[in-house]
Structure 1
């Protein structure tokens, strides 16, 4: 049962998380149609990563972005299921990136920085969902 209304910062963070995840969905939608000409415009290290990426990494990307977007929507609707969707998003991120960390030569500051940003956003989402549950802002 919802006992109180969330504060303004909750709504702001939830909207930012939704926008961030929608950007991820757009990237996901364009990923399969990224042509050879488009890949050739990337930096050499990014071309190699794109060429070597296993299928499980793509499916992890799908899980991370779809679950993250659904979680952000559930959070805005003040539903407890948001927490589990964000956990699924974290699992997707691990599936997406585990192969990168198996060979440190694939890792650059750009790759590490971006993945840290994504992991941080998922951690924030999980914290926000837990806070909403604890303060009874969601049901």
Structure 2
């Protein structure tokens, strides 16, 4: 049973996270299109990373993005399952990026910074889901 209603900051943060995840979904949908010839338009470092990316990294991208988006939707619907979806998203992020650490040339400041931003957003999602559960804002 729900004990209380979430505060306004909860809704604002959840909606912002939903927008962030929708951007991720758009990037996911665009990813196969890049393989059709747009890779040449990327910076040389990005071209090399894209060419070296193993299939498991793409599947990790799918898991991270879809689970994250579903998790935010579950959070907005005030469901406990959001936490598990965010954990799945974190696993997807690890699968997506673990291969990068095999070759230090892949670890540019841009790559590390952007992946840290994504990891931070997943950590924020997990914290928000735990807060909702603790304050009995979700069921």
Q: TM-score range by the shorter chain?
A: over 0.9
Greater CA drift, 64-73 or 34-43: 34-43
- 2:74 matched residue in structure 1: 74
Distance of 1:35 and 1:100 partners within structure 2: 19
How big is each residue's C-alpha offset from its partner over 1:89-116, in whole Å with a ceiling of 9 and x where there is no partner?
0000000000001211111010000000
The gaps in structure 1 that reach 5 residues or longer are none
- 2:3 matched residue in structure 1: 3
- 1:54 matched residue in structure 2: 54
- 2:95 matched residue in structure 1: 95
Aligned residues: 139
The gaps in structure 2 that reach 5 residues or longer are none
Measured after TM superposition, the shift of residue 129 of structure 1 is: 0.1
Measured after TM superposition, the shift of residue 69 of structure 1 is: 0.2
RMSD (Å), alpha carbons: 0.8
- 2:12 matched residue in structure 1: 12
- 1:27 matched residue in structure 2: 27
- 1:65 matched residue in structure 2: 65
TM-score (norm 2): 0.98
Q: Secondary structure at the match of 1:32?
A: helix
Measured after TM superposition, the shift of residue 36 of structure 1 is: 4.8
Distance of 1:131 and 1:8 partners within structure 2: 14
Q: Secondary structure at the match of 1:21?
A: helix
- 1:120 matched residue in structure 2: 120
Distance of 1:36 and 1:26 partners within structure 2: 17
Measured after TM superposition, the shift of residue 35 of structure 1 is: 3.9
Distance of 1:96 and 1:18 partners within structure 2: 20
